[in-house]
């Protein structure tokens, strides 16, 4: 009973975080050309600058290899510092262009220019008010996804289907970050206004039909629904929907 109540409180806090972030990172605004080699992002969930990059990745429907670097982390922080020369986040490593980029504005610009062939849309450009609001957004989620906790290392990275603005997905990403678990983030942003709303109660009435040819249709054909978060763990063969179940699994399997 207490765990269920605590989870529901966290969901409400995460809704507040998405609201303070103006619900960016929900809708796909440009279908980017997928990179030949995976992008790698060193970041931590609670960082407002990192959040701006994750929002852009969702807006572009781009997947990325996440290397969590929470404060006090010992797994990927040294690796990031060796790659870029300093412990600053976010850090994007793009093997397709042989670039290593700091600064959220520079990373967002790179993603839109290189993979969508267009300038950054107005809603995703850096604004002076975004960072204070981002700090408030982090506070609304109780600073989860900020600090490393002891954990056991998986042999293979996990896979998470998510989109940045999803309050439920955020709870899973926070846990993955705190436990320093590497994972492939498969962005599954909403491709049309008719997809707005929770998976079981979208704004458009009637049976759900994803747009033909998109990532959501591919997911729908495989799973019979489009719902995030969805986690696959190749180390155990586990596959889970529902944020509460995924968080409970991660805690029991990997928390140290």
Residue 43 placed within a domain: yes
Residue 207 placed within a domain: no
pLDDT tens readout for residues 186-212: 999 998 877 776 666 666 677 888 889
Extended beta strands in 140-244, E state: 158-162, 183-187, 230-233, 238-241
Residue 74 placed within a domain: yes
The four Cα atoms 171, 174, 180, 185 give a dihedral, to 10 degrees, of 70
**How far apart (Å, rounded) are the C-alpha atoms in residues 106 and 92?**
10
Q: How many structural domains is the chain composed of?
A: 1
Residue 46 placed within a domain: yes
CA-based nearest residue to 125, from 141, 106, 151:
106
Residue 188 near residue 228 (C-beta atoms within 8 A): yes
pLDDT tens readout for residues 80-115: 999 988 889 999 999 999 999 999 999 999 999 999
Q: Which of 12-21, 26-35, 104-113, 228-237 has the lowest mean pLDDT?
A: 12-21
The 3-state DSSP class for residue 41 equals: strand
Residue 198 placed within a domain: no
* Beta strands at 183-187 and 158-162: parallel, antiparallel or unpaired: parallel
pTM across the whole model: 0.94
* Beta strands at 64-68 and 183-187: parallel, antiparallel or unpaired: antiparallel
Residue 216 placed within a domain: no
Residue 202 placed within a domain: no
What distances in angstroms separate CA 185 from CA 18, 101, 213, one per listed residue?
18, 19, 20
Residue 164 near residue 139 (C-beta atoms within 8 A): no
Q: Average pLDDT, whole number, for the chain?
A: 92
Extended beta strands in 202-248, E state: 230-233, 238-241
We report the CATH number of the domain holding residue 151 as 3.40.30.10
**How far apart (Å, rounded) are the C-alpha atoms in residues 77 and 45?**
14
CA-based nearest residue to 76, from 44, 108, 105:
44
Residue 153 placed within a domain: yes
Domain that holds residue 98: 2-188+228-254
pLDDT tens readout for residues 114-141: 999 999 999 999 887 777 887 887 888 8
């Amino acid at each position: 009973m207490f765990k269920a109540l605590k989870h529901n409180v966290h969901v409400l806090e995460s809704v507040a975080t998405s609201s303070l972030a103006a619900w960016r990172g929900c809708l796909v605004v440009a279908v980017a050309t997928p990179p030949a080699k995976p992008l790698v992002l060193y970041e931590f969930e609670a960082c407002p600058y990192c959040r701006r990059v994750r929002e852009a990745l969702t807006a572009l429907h781009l997947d990325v290899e996440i290397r969590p670097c929470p404060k006090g982390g010992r797994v990927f922080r040294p690796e990031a510092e060796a790659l870029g020369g300093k412990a600053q986040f976010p850090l994007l490593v793009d093997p397709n262009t042989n670039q290593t980029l700091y600064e959220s504005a520079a990373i967002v610009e790179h993603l839109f220019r290189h993979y969508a062939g267009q300038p950054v849309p107005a809603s995703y450009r850096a604004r002076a008010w975004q960072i204070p609001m981002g700090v408030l957004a982090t506070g609304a989620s109780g600073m989860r996804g900020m600090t490393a906790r002891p954990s056991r290392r998986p042999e293979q990275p996990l896979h998470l289907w998510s989109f940045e603005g999803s309050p439920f997905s955020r709870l899973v990403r926070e846990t993955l970050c705190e436990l320093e678990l590497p994972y492939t983030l498969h962005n599954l942003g909403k491709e049309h206004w008719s997809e707005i709303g929770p998976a079981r109660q979208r704004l458009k009435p009637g049976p759900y039909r994803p747009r033909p040819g998109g990532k959501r249709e591919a997911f729908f054909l495989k799973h019979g629904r489009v719902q995030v978060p969805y986690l696959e763990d190749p180390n155990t063969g586990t596959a889970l929907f529902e944020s509460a179940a995924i968080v409970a699994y991660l805690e029991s399997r990997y928390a140290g």
